[in-house]
Structure 1
Amino acid sequence: MNVKLIAHTALSEEFYDSFDYLDDYGSVILNPFDQERYNERAAVALTAIRTCYSPLKPTEIVAKEGAKYFGNSASDGEGGTDADRLFRHITRSGHTSTLEHITYTFAVEGVSRALLAQLTRHRHLSFSVQSQRYVRMGSADKSGGFDYVTPVSINENAEAYRVYDVAMNELQSVYDELRAAGVPTEDARMVLPNAATCNLVMTGNLRTFLDFYAKRRPGNGAQWEIANLAVHLRDEIVKVDPWLAPYFDAKEETV
C-alpha cells in the first residue's frame, strides 16, 4: 500500500494578500498567524467558524482576528493557542460542518478490492478507481497480470501461503485463458479475486477523514488493511497540518 497526499485546500492569492494590515505605528504586518504551526487550512477553519459568530465579513476575519486567535495562549488551559481552544470547542460541540470546507486529495495505490468495497461505504468520499474493465490484467498485457494483497495471517503461515499462492496463479491462468478464448475484458474480470489490487484517487473533507479514522483506526474492530489505510491518511494529513494532530489518536501505529 502506498498513500500520498497530492492536493489540499489552498487560499486564493487575493485572499491571502488581504491578511496584510497596519499596526498602530503604520507598519505592515504580513503574517497574522504562525505559519510554522498553522497554515492555509487553519485560516479556512478560523474563517468558517468565526463567520457563524462574528459580525465581521468572512474576508475580514483572519486579517482582523488572526493575530488574536493564532497569537494568544489558549484560555481553556489545555495548551496551544486560542485558535486551538476554538477548534477544540467547535469539535466537542458537534459543529464540525465548519470543517467540511477543508479538503484533501490522496493517491492510494496497491490496495485490495476487498478494501475498496469497505471504503465506498463512506458516503462523503469521492473516488476515481482503476477500472478492471478498461485495464487488461492478462499476463501478456502491459499490467503483466494482476497484483494481489496477501493478509498477514496467510503470509506468516507457510502452508496457507502455499495454498493462497497456488490459487492466485490459477486465477491468473483462468483469466488469461478466457481472454485468449475471446471473452471481453469486462467479463473475464469476473474471475479476479477480492485480493486483486487497484489504484485510486480519493478526495474528502476534514470532517469525513476524522470520522473515517475514528471508525477505521487500529484497535477499533476494523480489518487490518483498512486500519492501515486510516493510519496512512492520518499521517499524511498531520504531516502538512500539524495543528490537527490532537484530533487523531497519535498513539496508534501502522499495522
Structure 2
Amino acid sequence: MPLSIAARPAEREKFEKLMSEIRNLYTEWTEMGIPAEDARYILPNAAETKIVVTMNVRSLYNFFSLRCCSRAQWEIRALADKMLAEVKEVAPVLFEKAGPSCVTNGICTEGAMTCGRLAALQAKAAKG
C-alpha cells in the first residue's frame, strides 16, 4: 500500500475494505471456473506482481543506474535498492560502483526533473 494512503487511517480502511472485496470476488470467479486471465480484469492496476528476472552484471549495472534513482517509481526503486544491497553482499567487488547514475557516473539523466542529489554531491566534493 502506498505510504500516502497508509498514513491516512480513514483512507487506509477504505483501501483495505475494497482490496478485500476485490480479492473475494476474484477468488469466487476463479473457483467457479472463470479463467484466471479473465478474472484478473477485476484487479486494480496496483495489483501485486511476482517477477523473475535473469540479468548479468552489465544488465544489473544498467538496472541499478536507472531504478535506484530517486525519480524512479517508488516500488521499483525499493526493489532495486534491495537487490543492490543483496548483490553487494554476495559480490562486493563486482558491485562496489553500482547504484544510481548520479552517484556512480556523476551524470543525471533526469534533466529539469532532477532530484538535486548530483548537485549536492558536486557541492560536497567542491568543499573537499
Q: Say how many residue pairs are matched.
A: 101
Q: Provide the TM-score with structure 1 as the length reference.
A: 0.36
Pick from 65, 68, 79: which aligns with 1:214?
A: 65
| Aligned residue in 2 for 1:189 | 40
Residue 175 of structure 1 aligns to which amino acid in structure 2? Y
Q: Provide the TM-score with structure 2 as the length reference.
A: 0.66
Aligned pair in 2 of structure 1 residues 190, 245: CA closer, same or farther (>3 Å)?
same
> Unaligned stretches of 5+ in structure 2?
104-128
| Partners of 2:30 and 2:79 in 1: CA distance | 33
> Unaligned stretches of 5+ in structure 1?
1-149, 251-255
| Aligned residue in 2 for 1:160 | 11
| Partners of 1:153 and 1:218 in 2: CA distance | 20
Pick from 225, 243, 246: which aligns with 2:75?
A: 225
Greater helix content: 2
Structure ID, larger Rg = 1
Superposed CA offset, 1:204-232 (max 9, x none) = 1111111111111142x111111111111
Runs of 4+ in 1 over 6 A off after TM superposition: none
Whether contact under 8 Å (1:218, 1:224) holds in the other structure is no
Residue 4 of structure 2 aligns to which amino acid in structure 1? S
Specify which structure has the bigger relative contact order, considering alpha-carbon pairs within 8 angstroms and separated by 6 or more residues. Answer: 1
Residue 78 of structure 2 aligns to which amino acid in structure 1? N
Aligned pair in 2 of structure 1 residues 214, 177: CA closer, same or farther (>3 Å)?
same
Greater strand content: 1
Percent identity among equivalent residues? 34
